[in-house]
Homo-oligomer: A and B are copies of this chain.
């Protein structure tokens, strides 16, 4: 097996400097050539040269009103008590009568003898003409030639991205077409013997080891969004010759090649070899996470052109981020634009971040505006977790050598959503329940742009987040071992100074999730102590963990004797997935999670799942639509169809602050 470590590991800005230095002499660090296209095709394209007005606009003196063309001097002296009569004449015969007038509509050319327009509303018809009761100054209600644009004037500069109104200015100044930069043609080449297409995966279900190839979809959509024209190549298996042939072909008709993946240094990572064989390997390995194994190079196309190539890492988050860090700035520059600058926001980090020293660390965060504070909560760091990008509201860049950032620190968030969207986001931190997903769904269906962002940190974590002012509400199902009651004593203990309202979201069954047929025959709480049973547990502070510990304690069972007690997952579904995949035999969870993964369920108890909501937010405009859903028949019916849920107590206010 041929193995090697990364060739280099250079900082992001150095990687760009090396890339630019190679692109410049090849004539590749400048806007693409221009092409002239009809205006109708031009929105979103970028002007390649300044556009000067060929015509004035208006190109003649035009009436600005429906009314009458007059000579201003004929109207002098008209008053309410001394109206003046003006006389209708045939067009272009101003001498046919004294004080001539001619009806004129908006936009019509002013007769050469006239120099003003009187609005129809300010006239009275009289035999042979009209009567007016006020004088008008010269050029009144006339749109003078050139009022909008004068021929030869600069209409639009070069490097201007065309918006709808710009088309109007171009057309109005005599242009039917416009010179714009050619769109960058970008070939995206997925490589990998383990890859299957999205269509294959959806049709047949992928086998273990098969990876659904969707990076090319994401990269193509990014390229299109950034003004390029993407071409998705079919999957090439991990064979040097095959990849080399595909790359050589693609280089002929494209401005940029994205090879995904094989950019790392594994036994079947061929991208670096291909780039070396067909051209010049400039950078292999960038000190950025995710996105580390990036390759930058130049391919010599058969026609003498050099074609830039980017080896894009295979992990989906790394791939998307490589798009943002390398592809976007290049496409922007080829269109005469500066790199995209996302809107930024300063936010308070809710958790400590430890970053690999030496790397620029790009951390996806959820951003919420809670009260007057803006909080940024890091989302899963895994480069393989595409949902971390889907759920992210923005990116925090932790610079290399800073080793991370502390909780409570102010950080700059580069936003994926507008500040307005963030202001309409309800932040839920706490216990996970599938009903929250449904709530998110019903909220979005209102079409008012409201969003529910939920982070799963367990019930206790939720109460602590409320105390820190990081969330609008927390889902909680914490059983008090002394009183047998839910949540109330915990709220008193953890939120002594915050007036909160407790509203029941749902009642639900908890029990053992086991493989179909319950092969180990679990029945009651105590069976988890059976040495053959490998448990998968929930994390500390989760209501389900509290419940398990409570029941074990009542029975005098020592957790240290339970296999797998230390293995922690953060959601019911993750626990169910562990059982379904055979890496554990049992986990405590809700019936719906067992059902979702076709597991059997051994019911043990019923519990109450409440929403804990600080009073200030309970009465806020932001939360009103969410709370209204608890009494919405459609929402209740949707929850009731999920197994193990009891909507009877939904909306009960347990504690009114």
Cβ-defined contact, A385 with B171, below 8 A? no
How near does chain B come to A64, taking the closest CB pair, in angstroms? 7
Identical copies of this chain, number: 2
A542 on the B face (CB < 8 A): no
Q: How far is the CA of A268 from the CA of B64 in the complex (A)?
A: 15
Residues of B within 8 A of A176 (CB): 198-199, 201-203
Take A105-B268, A150-B576 as given contacts and tell me if A174 and B419 are in contact as well, using a CB distance cutoff of 8 Å: no
Nearest CB of B to A114, in Å = 11
Q: Is A43 touching B386 in the complex (CB atoms < 8 A)? A: no
Q: Is A168 an interface residue (CB 8 A)?
A: yes
A571 and B216 alpha carbons, distance in the complex (Å): 53
- Cα distance A165–B225 when bound, in Å? 12
- Complex Cα distance A455/B338, Å? 25
Q: Which of A548-586 contact B (CB under 8 A)?
A: 567, 571, 573-574, 576-578, 580-583
In the complex, are the beta carbons of A266 and B106 less than 8 A apart?
A: yes
* A394 vs chain B, min Cβ distance (A): 13
Within the complex, the shortest CB–CB distance from A165 to chain B, in Å, comes to: 4
A420 within 8 A of B: yes
A289–B362 Cα gap in the complex (Å)?
Answer: 47
Query: Which residues in B have their C-beta under 8 angstroms from that of A158?
Result: 441, 444-445
Closest to A419 in B: B343
Question: Contacts A165-B386, A567-B138 hold; do A150 and B217 have CB atoms under 8 A apart?
Answer: no
CB within 8 Å of B: which of A481-524? Answer: none
Chain A residues within 8 Å of chain B by Cβ, number: 134
Cα separation A419 to B42 with both chains bound (whole Å) = 25
A90 at interface, CB cutoff 8 A: no
**A70 beta carbon closer than 8 Å to chain B:** no
Rounded to whole angstroms, the CA-CA distance of A212 and B107 in the bound complex is 11
Which chain B residue shows the least CB distance to A581?
B145
Chain B residues near A164: list those with CB within 8 A: 217-219, 221-222, 225, 320, 323
Q: Which of A385-401 contact B (CB under 8 A)?
A: 385-387, 389-390
Whether A61 and B581, one on each chain, are in contact in the complex, defined by CB atoms closer than 8 angstroms, is yes
Contact B382 A147 (CB under 8 A): yes
**Which residue on chain B has the smallest CB distance to residue A160?**
B444
A23 to B574, CA, bound (A): 46
Evaluate contact between B107 and A211: CB separation under 8 angstroms: yes
Question: Please, how many angstroms separate the alpha-carbon atoms of A621 and B112 in the complex?
Answer: 52
* CB of A169 closer than 8 Å to a CB of B: yes
**Mask: chain A, 294-333; 1 = CB below 8 Å from B; 0 = not:** 0000000000000000000010100010010000000001
- Chain B, Cβ-Cβ closest to A154: B437
A153 CB → nearest B CB, Å? 6
The contact sample of 18 A-B pairs, CB cut-off 8 A, is A31-B447, A39-B198, A40-B217, A56-B577, A103-B267, A106-B266, A115-B583, A146-B574, A150-B597, A155-B390, A157-B441, A164-B217, A164-B221, A165-B316, A168-B214, A336-B447, A338-B447, A341-B449
For the complex of A and B, 10 pairs with smallest distance between CB atoms = A146-B577, A171-B214, A152-B596, A176-B202, A164-B221, A60-B208, A157-B444, A150-B573, A338-B449, A154-B437
